[in-house]
Amino acid sequence: MTELSIVQALNRGLRCAMESDPKVLLMGEDIGKLGGVFRVTEGLQKDFGEDRVIDAPLAESGIVGTAIGLALYGYRPVIEIQFDGFVYPAFDQIIVQLARMRYRSAGVLQLPITIRMPFGGGIGSVEHHGESPEAYFASTPGLRVVTCANPVDAYWMIQQAIASDDPVIFLEPKRRYWQKGEVDLSETLTSVPSMYQAKVLVEGSDCTIICYGPTVATSLHAAALAAQDGVSLEVIDLRTLSPLDLVTMEKSVKKTGRAVVVHEASSSGGIGGEVGQCLTESCFYYLQAPVLRVTGYDTPYPPSRIEDVYLPDVDRILDAVEKSMSY
């Protein structure tokens, strides 16, 4: 077992993918000599060269467009979007080209591109450096959308994403980048769970907490505090936002009869609404209360000095659990 932060785990995962397949290359702003703003790609250009770790111009649309061309010629590009709020200039390439190419060509053309993106708030950043755009991508057919919440998943899921023949939006919770955990580097890609499979992190009987990315640690903290008061919460890390692992969620909710979905993105049109509707359709006769949401508010991320008011915290999660159990 090796103790790694999420940043270190991602770095090692990228290194493994590049060592195992010479067609894997990295592209992004400042990812070479600097090693990226968060140092995820640190040392990779030195070891693999400037032809495989490419410092790209400040042009997200151009980066994604170039990656699409490379993928059509057999490469497996891994793109870094420096901050979540910088992805919007590349929307046309991602939504209109990248997501549709395989369908448009009846499966003849594949675009095995991974787009890495730090997302969420909590780091005291300025505007455009803290956002949660995941619902845009999860609602786009043709894209796979996944997110890691700990070093183990960071290490394995980035390798699984790169190995996928479908384009993958790989979301990294930036305020958890320095969270550490033990990773068993002796395992193999074939022995670890699929990145499309949700994980039950804590088993419980009273209410199911469904979360992903940066809110996983918050939800685990809430479950630990609830246990002190005799309330048993089951915590599920979705890991994949498209496709959703409905089987794992349904099994849990049929046991607990209640569910609370937690995410930083705003409530309207968010992942929580989709999860809630799916559970209502499949678990209607098991639910003892409506599926509740604890989310960011329907505003842009606020200035960093009041960000704590915006982000879902332990108190808001426990309040929702109490409300669910009062029905």
- Which positions are annotated as active-site residues? 129
Cα dihedral 26→30→35→37 (10° resolution):
-120
* Cβ count within 10 A of residue 216: 27
Q: How are beta strands 240-242 and 144-147 bridged, if at all?
A: antiparallel
**Cβ neighbours, 10 Å, residue 69:** 11
173: preceding bond cis by omega (within 30 degrees): no
Report long-range pairs for 274-282 (Cβ below 8 Å, ≥24 apart): 274/138, 274/244, 275/210, 275/238, 275/244, 275/249, 278/244, 278/246, 278/249, 279/249, 279/250, 279/253, 282/246, 282/250
In 3D space, the residue among 157, 156, 317, 309 whose CA is nearest the CA of residue 241 turns out to be: 157
The whole-angstrom separation of Cα 258 and Cα 117 is 32
